Structure formats: structure tokens, C-alpha cells
Amino acid sequence: MGLWTEHVVPRIVDVALGTEEVRAVRERVVSRARGEVVELGFGSGPTLPLYPAAVTSVRAVEPSAVARRRGARRIAEASVPVEHVGLDGAHLDLPDDCADTVVSTFTLCTIPDVELALREVRRILRPGGQLLFAEHGLSPDPRTARWQHRLDGLQQRVVGGCHLTRPIDGLIRDAGLRILDLEHEQVRGPAVATYLYLGAATP
Ligand SMILES: C[S@@+](CC[C@H](N)C(=O)[O-])C[C@H]1O[C@@H](n2cnc3c(N)ncnc32)[C@H](O)[C@@H]1O
């Protein structure tokens, strides 16, 4: 990981995704979490204070050492045990059927092998478990989508591998998960990075 990606990007992410509007979106999605949670791309843990009382533990997957350090205080203050269990959502050292909930907020855009990561989600979710997601991705508006394709390579280089053009619902379905509900929202910010996919899916 280069200096920019390791040291600067986690700080940019915390600011860009630290708005009240995004916090409300996260809270809406993770309010349905319960039981044993695995969180992909934990970052500095902005989701942690928003988990409901039904959550009993959180296993965090996060490759960035800087993000993990920045999350230490939130982990220390959390009311549930939180453990870092891996660096890559595409290769989880976790047994089959070990999670009631998998949470991914603004992470499926960034995991390099997102198809494999979603197959891992399906593998670790217990029957009846849920993937809860709040992600940005490909816009249905043709003009915005054209700009997303134009800027995708630049975005990946500047924002730590973040893709603008991933069709999040299609990727989830292709991994063999069934979407239970899906909402879209356009939040404030550049249109290319603010078309959201919010919802839940199950194995
Ligand atoms: C845009 S940030 C979002 C962080 C946090 N989930 C949030 O909502 O603010 C994307 C996160 O995915 C992490 N990430 C990158 N590659 C990953 C991988 N292969 N597996 C899991 N997480 C990854 C990054 O380090 C970063 O913390």
C-alpha cells in the first residue's frame, strides 16, 4: 500500500463519509443488525456506535493499519466485543455459517475481488442471516453513468481502489444472495459517487 493510500485515504474517507446525512443512512441500514456481526471494510468504525442492542459481537475485516488505529477508541468505547479478524473480505478465515449479519457500508466499491468477497459473505452467513449494505455504485442516469465510466480509473487511483461503476444489486445477486429489499438514494456530493444502494440480502 502506498503512502497516499495508507495514510491520506483513510482520513479523506472519514471526512467524506462523516456527514450527518451519511450517518443517518448508515443508521437506517444497520438498525436491522443482530447477533454475531461480521463487518467488511470496518475502516475506523463509524458504524460501531450505531449498532442496536440486538448485536452481540462484531468481527471486523479491515486491511488499513491507519484505519484500524483510528478506530481503536470507538472499539474501546463499544458496548459489544469487537475483534479484528482479517485483512481481506475476499479471503475470510472464518468458518461456514458463523454470522447472523454481515455489514458492508461503502466497501463493495473498494474490495478488489468483490465477486469473491460476496461469495464469502454467502458462505459465512447462517441460514436466515442477512447482508446489510449501504453502498454507492452505478447510476441509472445515462449522463451520470457516462461520467462514472470516464472517471472510474482516476477514482480508483486517487481513492484507494474505489470503483464508481459497480452495479451493486447485480453483484449481490450474482453471488447467489437473494435481495430482500433495495432502496436508492442520491445523497449530497458529486453525482458520480453519491447514487446509493441500500438494503438487505440473504443466502
Ligand atoms: C470507503 S471506505 C469505507 C469504510 C467504512 N466502511 C465506512 O463506512 O466509512 C472502504 C473501506 O474498505 C476497506 N477495504 C479495502 N480493501 C478491502 C478488502 N479487500 N477487504 C475488506 N475491506 C477492504 C478500506 O481499507 C476502507 O476502510
Q: What is the pLDDT of residues 77-103, one digit of tens each?
A: 999 999 999 999 999 999 999 999 999
Q: State how far the Cα of 203 lies from the Cα of 186, in Å rounded to an integer.
A: 27
What is the average pLDDT score of the chain? 95
Q: Is the pLDDT of residue 12 over 90?
A: no
Q: Is the pLDDT of residue 175 over 70?
A: yes
pLDDT band at 1 (very low <50, low <70, confident <90, very high): low
Supply the residue whose CA is at minimum distance from atom 25 of ligand 1: 64
Q: Is the pLDDT of residue 5 over 90?
A: no
Q: Is 89 in the pocket of ligand 1 (CB under 6 A)?
A: yes
Q: Is the pLDDT of residue 15 over 90?
A: no
Q: State how far the Cα of 51 lies from the Cα of 28, in Å rounded to an integer.
A: 10
Lowest-pLDDT choice from 11-20, 105-114, 151-160, 176-185: 11-20
43-59: pLDDT as tens digits: 999 999 999 999 999 99
Sign of the CA dihedral 153, 156, 161, 163? negative
Residue 133: the pLDDT is 98
CA 12 / ligand 1 centre spacing (Å): 12
Q: Once rounded to an integer, what is the mean pLDDT over residues 182-189?
A: 96
CATH classification at residue 131: 3.40.50.150
CA 92 / ligand 1 centre spacing (Å): 14
Range of the structural domain that residue 104 is part of: 3-202
Q: State how far the Cα of 117 lies from the Cα of 106, in Å rounded to an integer.
A: 14
Q: Once rounded to an integer, what is the mean pLDDT over residues 122-142?
A: 98
Do the Cβ atoms of 19 and 82 come closer than 8 Å? no
What pTM did the predictor assign?
A: 0.96
The structural domain count of the chain equals: 1
Q: Is 67 in the pocket of ligand 1 (CB under 6 A)?
A: yes
Q: Can you give the three-state secondary structure of 45-91, one letter per residue?
A: CCCHHHCCCCEEEEEEECCCHHHHHHCHHHHHHCCCCEEEEECCCCC
Residue 53: the pLDDT is 97
Q: State how far the Cα of 25 lies from the Cα of 91, in Å rounded to an integer.
A: 28
Name residue 178's beta-bridge partners: 202
Do the Cβ atoms of 126 and 99 come closer than 8 Å? yes
